[in-house]
A and B are shown apart, each in its own frame.
Chain A
């Protein structure tokens, strides 16, 4: 009897390998076709997929000989990357069977990511799968595994809060703004200075329909430039205090060595704004906004450290949600195992026989019920006839299934086709 392919993952990630090793072994998507073509030539490789991002390099294989396949991957890596084995060997992890399935599901669901819950990973895996698919290096096992991992990842994202809490400075600012203003729509924003993080925060606010946008820069031309990008208005740096009456959110990010917004600037401001809340975000180091201002009623001042600690808390929150994600993944692994085990030849032949026998018995019962005049002898003859019929029909498929071991990587395919052809999995909800 033939063996079927087993699933194996060989790889390294941000937890096992430092960036020097990862960047040395990373594959670009231009490399991938060559990798897939070379690896599939290997006798022990039935199916293969390569997944490489800045945080991980992973080979996903279906093979009948696990140790041989792992060696093949290591040889290939050393050869292709011109890197001695000892550089990466310690960082490599090898998972097979359920562990490999679990690993892939966790990676796709972003439970294994450096930033838990980050949404990009699923897209990257889909792309890697697409490439392998295009080169025909994925068959029954990996196809099924990948489709399952996509749906598991989707479930984890929708059923847990793994992606809910802001984990970047600019999102944290938006989240806080929402807690103060409810809706950000129509809230006026003033950007003082410039800088990547500050501009990203403004961009996020604009996405949440905050407007109008004002930009103040020491160099008015630079201010104009930035303002144009957000379809805002540039104002002179000296005008900033006047605009405190008008705006709702201030983001400050200048290179000034002293505070540019002092408590004195707020005299009469709150009265003029009829006490509407004011949210000041200070991204600059050294700080731009006097922290004393936070004591004014309805004014909220957050500096970079405050935002960072907010992010820290959100990370912890995500970790809690990740635990719920793990449960979903565990469940999916069990389901996948059920399907995978059904790929064996023997259970398939048994299931085939059981199904036909079931049909035979049911039909006999129906016939005998209406055939009241038949003698005991007639019944026995019909019984024999049907049994022989079923046996003859099943003879060739059974023989075929028992012989398919000769075709490399094809047995799983034929077993799968047989199961689908005769609908043997109708009681298993595998899909």
Chain B
């Protein structure tokens, strides 16, 4: 295994532990260390992915190993960007472990070298894959935020204050953060699917083949489109929106894995 990839994994693991420690003990220095570790891990990871990209000439998403790794990278990247605006400190306690899980599973999976068909290269494909990965990362974070929302909502509703009530931010903040992720993720998903369709036309001569993967991708898009519509038009927010966000991610997750296992 690549040294940098190992370093990335180590940083993510340490950062995850740090974030859990922060949630538990509420000490700012722990948080700062965890954040720095995550940044270091992210920069290493960026290096790894950049090398893979230039070697192969496309995003490293040819097998499950590469895809998981790239997904973990994107999740951390989107999170770090979001942190600049929202500074939701406890979220790291979920994001870092998710990224860790992705790279750890990736590192135990085989990484067979793949002969790339030249048709898999090119600008369309880079766009298709790039936007989908970023979109998925945004949805993954929306999913994590929705979980936090439901925990906090339950604490307030049931009047059972305590561990989470004190540590989690306001419902308003969680809701608007989830919304921001959706707003960011949806155009990317849409663009990713459109470029995918065009790309399919270029490669196979057909826009839409009704295979399992395409159907699921379509369903994912519909779920998120419905959620976004409800939020914008009907003003859905809060609990129902959070549940829908989680549902949407479940479908997304299924699509993602069927791509490799199905």
- A and B: interacting chains: yes
Seen from chain A, the residues whose Cβ lies within 8 Å of a Cβ on chain B are 176, 178-183, 271, 273-277, 294, 297-298, 300, 302, 306, 309-310, 313, 317
**Binary interface profile of B, 167-188, with partner A (CB < 8 Å = 1, else 0)?**
0011111000000000000000
Interface residues of B in 170-218 (CB under 8 A from A): 170-173
Q: How far is the CB of A65 from chain B (nearest CB, A)?
A: 49
Q: How far is the CB of A249 from chain B (nearest CB, A)?
A: 13
Give bound CA distance, A306 to B156, whole Å.
11
Asked if A298 and B169 make an inter-chain contact with CB atoms under 8 angstroms apart, the answer reads no
Query: Does B235 count as interface, using CB distance less than 8 angstroms?
Result: yes
Seen from chain B, the residues whose Cβ lies within 8 Å of a Cβ on chain A are 152, 156-157, 159, 161-162, 165-166, 169-173, 234-240
Asked if B239 and A310 make an inter-chain contact with CB atoms under 8 angstroms apart, the answer reads no
Asked if B170 and A182 make an inter-chain contact with CB atoms under 8 angstroms apart, the answer reads yes
Asked if B159 and A309 make an inter-chain contact with CB atoms under 8 angstroms apart, the answer reads yes
Asked if B237 and A300 make an inter-chain contact with CB atoms under 8 angstroms apart, the answer reads no
Asked if A180 and B170 make an inter-chain contact with CB atoms under 8 angstroms apart, the answer reads yes
Q: Interface centre among A178, A182, A273, A300, by most B CB within 10 Å?
A: A182
Asked if B156 and A180 make an inter-chain contact with CB atoms under 8 angstroms apart, the answer reads yes
5 inter-chain pairs at a CB distance below 8 angstroms, sorted by A residue, are: A277-B171, A277-B172, A306-B159, A310-B161, A313-B161
A275 and B235 contact, Cβ closer than 8 Å, known pairs A179-B156, A309-B159, A313-B161: yes
Asked if B172 and A182 make an inter-chain contact with CB atoms under 8 angstroms apart, the answer reads yes
Residues of chain B with a CB closer than 8 A to A276's CB: 235, 237
A300: nearest chain-B partner, CB-CB: B156
A294: nearest chain-B partner, CB-CB: B157
A182 and B239 contact, Cβ closer than 8 Å, known pairs A300-B157, A302-B159: no
- Across the interface, A179 reaches (CB within 8 A) one of B171, B234, B240, namely B171
Residues of chain B with a CB closer than 8 A to A294's CB: 157
Task: Tell me if B's interface is mostly helix, strand, loop or mixed.
Answer: helix
B174: nearest chain-A partner, CB-CB: A182
Residues of chain A with a CB closer than 8 A to B237's CB: 274-276, 298
Give bound CA distance, A273 to B236, whole Å.
10
Residues of chain A with a CB closer than 8 A to B173's CB: 182
Give bound CA distance, A178 to B166, whole Å.
11
Q: How far is the CB of A18 from chain B (nearest CB, A)?
A: 34
Asked if B157 and A275 make an inter-chain contact with CB atoms under 8 angstroms apart, the answer reads no
Residues of chain A with a CB closer than 8 A to B172's CB: 180-183, 277
- Across the interface, A176 reaches (CB within 8 A) one of B156, B236, B238, namely B156
A297 and B240 contact, Cβ closer than 8 Å, known pairs A306-B159, A309-B159: yes
Q: Interface centre among A276, A297, A306, by most B CB within 10 Å?
A: A297
B233: nearest chain-A partner, CB-CB: A274
Give bound CA distance, A274 to B235, whole Å.
5
Q: How far is the CB of B73 from chain A (nearest CB, A)?
A: 31
A272: nearest chain-B partner, CB-CB: B235
Q: Interface centre among A180, A275, A309, A310, by most B CB within 10 Å?
A: A275
Residues of chain B with a CB closer than 8 A to A275's CB: 234-238, 240
Residues of chain B with a CB closer than 8 A to A180's CB: 156, 170-172
Q: Interface centre among B159, B236, B240, by most A CB within 10 Å?
A: B159
Give bound CA distance, A310 to B165, whole Å.
11
Give bound CA distance, A275 to B165, whole Å.
22
Residues of chain A with a CB closer than 8 A to B234's CB: 271, 274-275
Asked if A179 and B238 make an inter-chain contact with CB atoms under 8 angstroms apart, the answer reads no
**Known contacts A276-B235, A300-B156; 14 further A-B pairs (Cβ under 8 A):** A179-B165, A180-B172, A181-B170, A181-B171, A182-B171, A182-B173, A183-B172, A277-B172, A277-B238, A297-B238, A297-B239, A298-B238, A306-B159, A309-B159
A314: nearest chain-B partner, CB-CB: B161
Residues of chain A with a CB closer than 8 A to B166's CB: 317
Residues of chain A with a CB closer than 8 A to B162's CB: 313
Q: Interface centre among B152, B162, B172, B173, by most A CB within 10 Å?
A: B172
A161: nearest chain-B partner, CB-CB: B26
Give bound CA distance, A211 to B194, whole Å.
47
Give bound CA distance, A273 to B237, whole Å.
11
Q: Interface centre among A176, A274, A277, A313, by most B CB within 10 Å?
A: A277
A313: nearest chain-B partner, CB-CB: B161
Q: How far is the CB of A6 from chain B (nearest CB, A)?
A: 40
Give bound CA distance, A312 to B219, whole Å.
48
Q: How far is the CB of B177 from chain A (nearest CB, A)?
A: 11
Residues of chain A with a CB closer than 8 A to B161's CB: 310, 313
Residues of chain B with a CB closer than 8 A to A181's CB: 170-172
Asked if A179 and B170 make an inter-chain contact with CB atoms under 8 angstroms apart, the answer reads yes
Q: How far is the CB of B238 from chain A (nearest CB, A)?
A: 4
